[in-house]
Amino acid sequence: MSKSEKKKKNKFLFELGLEEIPADMISPALGQMCQGFEKRLEEACIDYGSIRPFASPRRLAFLVEDLPDHQPEREEVVLGPSQSVAYDEQKKPTRAVEGFARKGGVAVADLELMETPKGNYVGYRKKIPGKSLSEVLQEVLPQVLTSISWPKNMYWRESRFRFIRPLRWYLALLNDEVLPFEFEGLKAGNTTRGHRFLGAPDIQVLQVDDYLDQLRQNYVLADIEERRAKIAAEIEEVTPKGLHISSDPHLLETVVHLNEYPTLICGSFSEEFLKLPQEVLTTVMRHHQKYFSVVNEEEEIQSYFLTVINTSGDPEGKIQKGHEKVLRARLEDSAFFWKADRKRRLEERVEDLDLILFQEKLGTYRAKTERLRTFCSGLSEDPHLDTAALLCKTDLTSDMVREFAGLQGVMGGLYAREDGYPEEVWKAIYEHYQPVSLEDASPSTPLGALLSIADKLDTVVGCFAIDIVPTGSSDPFALRRQAQGLVKVLLDHQLDYSLSHLVELAEKNFPAETKDKEVREQVLNFLKGRVRYIFQEKGIPYDVLNAVLAVEIHGVYDAYQRAQSLAGIRTDKDFEALAMAYKRTKNILSKQSIELSAVSQESLIDPEERALFRAYSEIKPKVDNNLENGDYVAALKQIAGLRKTVDQFFDKVLVMTEEKKLRQNRLRLLHDISQLFLRIADISEIVQEN
């Protein structure tokens, strides 16, 4: 038998049982638990094979295989007194070193001389036997559990330990034996619990490998992928022929984690509700009831819904009937709102915005509306934009939006359409909250884009002005998201408003008395940070980003084009060399004061500096022209063409000559050349690959 075969491979199964975890928190917590466990195994020098995560609303679990019996033996160096203290002049051990040896239980003869950065010391090597796997696991588990962080947690016992919901049991099996382990008043055992109503309350797991099967027999599918697959298959099965569900990945993810034994059923509602806008129907079903809506091939909504129930089936149709009843009541409410809200036109609701607070210091939505109108008038004179700005917040006074906050904007658009406003107006209102995330689409219309920018920037600037600024994980007004949305709209619509112009326009709307301070610079920096984030997401390398953002941003779309051009040319040999040369130039220029004026041709005496000046003068109009047209690739290529002349210049010409006049002239030449780049980027930020 070979040595490696003799080495026993261990398995460890751990299940944390608790009361129902909020569905959206399960995946992140499971990830933290498994990664935390892996990290601590690695720190403890324990090898492991695979780790398989499992979870359901009432449990987070994992199975680790190929664990060794022990930690490896390790060696620790124990240092004693320094060499000079350890031995006297006759090289005999002193009392100090004898004491050290005695304390460590080693013979003085076995001590070694060890070199350290602080000099030579006397010491010995100590073998430390590895702890058993069981010991390590017992140490590690409490650390893992304590380190899981939750968005909102609670106390439930006197120890004041915080967790998402109360802990109720642990299953901890090391090769079919219970791992003795205690945490927060609970002892680990070999039992788990089945489905609340269909399974056994106590299930003994005698073998690690039986865990999933035993749970399955008790109507718990602990394998997340198995639940996902069951849901996907049953969606196919129960959806009426010729129809499909409206795609909703987030809802799908939620229902995967909301059920221990998911089963799909299809219910229906009265066709009279199809008179309601599709957006309302979908929101009622999704938001309140977590139902999938059903559409035909034209994506038109149908009078069916799919729901995932947490049980094995509904043979008598009782559950379906119950869900249909609840949905009917909800739809009746919505139909009532839809009817009642349309009794008043949106323009009649503008005054009601006086009663709705945007933010205590920033005033009501009426005040915000006026700010949006002023801001928009600075961007465009289109009267439709002004109408859209005037009406865009009025749906906050509607019953429908009071009930379904997620429909804000959308309802305003739909009501404006009902009121007979032209498409430019109602669409702008409909879309002005978009994009709500980086995945969400920007508004599809030009006016929608402008209104979206106005709305977001007003919030960002207003909040900064009263010192509501995102810090770490705290961002109550979701300013990061707002700013990202703003940047995304500017990019998607290829708008070249300069950021500073936009911020200035928005800030003017906040009179001095509503502001704690001037915030233009602060907001610009914040927006720059968001630009950086979005560019990174789009795959722009960080050094290119640094280079582009080191010069003034102007328009976001323009900056993106500059970044893309720079990213494309950065590996070009000529460009790399030029970037190096530029670093030198920048270095020289930063230490010198230059009296700015035109380069004097008469004072260019060396042939290399004359050549450089000629080359520069030749490309400058072309570069200018290309910059003007936004053709940054061409401009960068032209500039990169200077490489040889620049290299020769630095080889042969002494910039820092004693003669002031010549020196100044050379500095001016270098300055002018660097100005060519600086319209695009500070290329000294580019990091050379080798």
Stretch that binds other proteins, among 114-122, 307-315, 469-477, 517-525 (CB under 8 A): 307-315
CA distances from 365 to 252, 356, 392, 489, 505 (A): 35, 6, 10, 23, 19
Of 131, 132, 137, 130, nearest in space to 183 by CA: 137
At 146 the three-state DSSP class reads helix
Q: How far is the CB of 194 from other proteins (least distance, A)?
A: 12
Q: How far is the CB of 496 from other proteins (least distance, A)?
A: 38
Select 359 or 522, whichever has its Cβ closest to other proteins: 359
CA distance 389 to 375: 9
For position 196 contacting other proteins by CB under 8 A, the verdict is: yes
At 235 the three-state DSSP class reads helix
Of positions 166, 378, 529, 541, contacts other proteins by CB under 8 A: 166
Q: How far is the CB of 107 from other proteins (least distance, A)?
A: 58
Q: How far is the CB of 322 from other proteins (least distance, A)?
A: 3
Of 453, 454, 434, nearest in space to 443 by CA: 434
For position 674 contacting other proteins by CB under 8 A, the verdict is: no
Select 21 or 97, whichever has its Cβ closest to other proteins: 21
Name beta bridge partners: 357: 364
Site size toward other proteins (CB under 8 A) is: 47
Stretch that binds other proteins, among 37-45, 313-321, 442-450, 579-587 (CB under 8 A): 313-321
Per-position b or e across 347-366, b if 16+ CB within 10 A of its CB: eebbebbeeeebbeebbbbb
User: How would you write 242-269 as a 3-class SS string?
Assistant: CCEECCCHHHHHHHHHHCCCEEEEEEEC
Q: How far is the CB of 393 from other proteins (least distance, A)?
A: 13
Q: Quote the distance between the C-alpha of residue 639 and its chain's center.
A: 37
Query: What does the radius of gyration of the chain's CA atoms come to, in whole angstroms?
Result: 35
Strands, sheet with 292-295, edge to edge from the N-terminal-most edge strand: 244-245, 292-295, 301-310, 262-268
Single-letter code of the amino acid located at 146: T
186-189 and 167-174 strand pairing: parallel
The owner of tokens 């680990």 is 188
Q: How far is the CB of 336 from other proteins (least distance, A)?
A: 8
Select 285 or 495, whichever has its Cβ closest to other proteins: 285
CA distance 320 to 243: 19
The owner of tokens 């879309």 is 431
For position 3 contacting other proteins by CB under 8 A, the verdict is: no
Of positions 238, 356, 438, 634, contacts other proteins by CB under 8 A: 356
Torsions phi, psi for 222 (to 5 deg) = -80, -15
For position 355 contacting other proteins by CB under 8 A, the verdict is: yes
Helices (H) and strands (E) in the chain, counts: 27, 18
Q: How far is the CB of 309 from other proteins (least distance, A)?
A: 4
Of 327, 219, 301, 293, nearest in space to 263 by CA: 219
CA distance 263 to 285: 17
Helix axes 446-465, 479-492, angle to 10 degrees: 150
Stretch that binds other proteins, among 20-28, 203-211, 430-438, 450-458 (CB under 8 A): 20-28
CA distances from 70 to 7, 39, 40, 348 (A): 10, 17, 15, 77
Q: How far is the CB of 254 from other proteins (least distance, A)?
A: 10
Q: How far is the CB of 396 from other proteins (least distance, A)?
A: 12
* Strand ranges in 39-89 using DSSP code E only, listed in sequence order: 51-56, 59-67, 74-82
For position 60 contacting other proteins by CB under 8 A, the verdict is: no
Of residues 121-160, those binding other proteins (CB under 8 A): 152-158, 160
Q: How far is the CB of 138 from other proteins (least distance, A)?
A: 23
Select 275 or 325, whichever has its Cβ closest to other proteins: 325
Select 237 or 381, whichever has its Cβ closest to other proteins: 237
Select 197 or 542, whichever has its Cβ closest to other proteins: 197
Of positions 360, 381, 602, 658, contacts other proteins by CB under 8 A: 360
Q: How far is the CB of 358 from other proteins (least distance, A)?
A: 9
For position 310 contacting other proteins by CB under 8 A, the verdict is: yes
For position 184 contacting other proteins by CB under 8 A, the verdict is: no
Of residues 315-354, those binding other proteins (CB under 8 A): 316, 318-319, 321-323, 325-329, 332-333, 336, 354
At 408 the three-state DSSP class reads coil
Tell me 685's DSSP state.
G
Stretch that binds other proteins, among 43-51, 59-67, 191-199, 624-632 (CB under 8 A): 191-199
Of positions 168, 508, 538, 614, contacts other proteins by CB under 8 A: 168
Contact map string, positions 252 to 281, toward other proteins, x by CB under 8 A: ------xx----------------------
Asked if residues 306 and 237 have their Cβ atoms less than 8 Å apart, the reply is no
Of residues 560-599, those binding other proteins (CB under 8 A): none
Q: Locate 379 and state its tokens.
A: 């961007």
Q: How far is the CB of 26 from other proteins (least distance, A)?
A: 11
- Interface residues with other proteins (CB under 8 A)? 19-20, 22-23, 57, 152-158, 160, 165-166, 168, 196-198, 258-259, 289, 307, 309-311, 314, 316, 318-319, 321-323, 325-329, 332-333, 336, 354-357, 360, 364
